[in-house]
Amino acid sequence: MRCEFHTTLVFMAGWCPMNQLENLNRCINEVAPEAGTKPALDYNAIPPMNAIPPTYIPTTKVISAFQNIVNTYGSPRYQEVNPGLFTIVTFPFLFGVMYGDIGHG
């Protein structure tokens, strides 16, 4: 998310899932009085022509650790299969094979 501050204006540009707009609006309305300003919110629901939105993958506590491993190599696009589910099975196995071999040369 990009954010620019001026003495009387804060301009933010970023992506937000449609189901999280209420939370974003609530957070901005909570913070604005502390900054001594009134929010004037304008949501642009139409992305620029060639913009590729970032992938949002909801995770649970169990999956999030493995999803973070996958995200270090890159996030899958919306039309791709999420390899995080395969990582839950393969990563512990490969980790055990790799470190089980340390003392055996």
What's the predicted TM-score (pTM) here?
0.52
Q: How far apart are CA 69 and CA 57, in angstroms?
A: 13
Q: Are 70 and 84 in contact (CB under 8 A)?
A: yes
Tens digit of pLDDT for each residue in 4-50?
655 666 777 788 888 888 898 888 888 888 777 777 777 776 666 77
Question: What are the extents of the domains in the chain?
Answer: 1-51, 61-104
Q: How far is CA 9 from CA 3, 62, 71, in A?
A: 11, 41, 34
Q: How far apart are CA 82 and CA 53, in angstroms?
A: 16
Tens digit of pLDDT for each residue in 36-95?
777 777 777 666 677 777 888 888 888 888 888 888 888 888 888 888 888 888 888 888
Please, what sign has the CA dihedral across residues 33, 37, 40, 44? negative
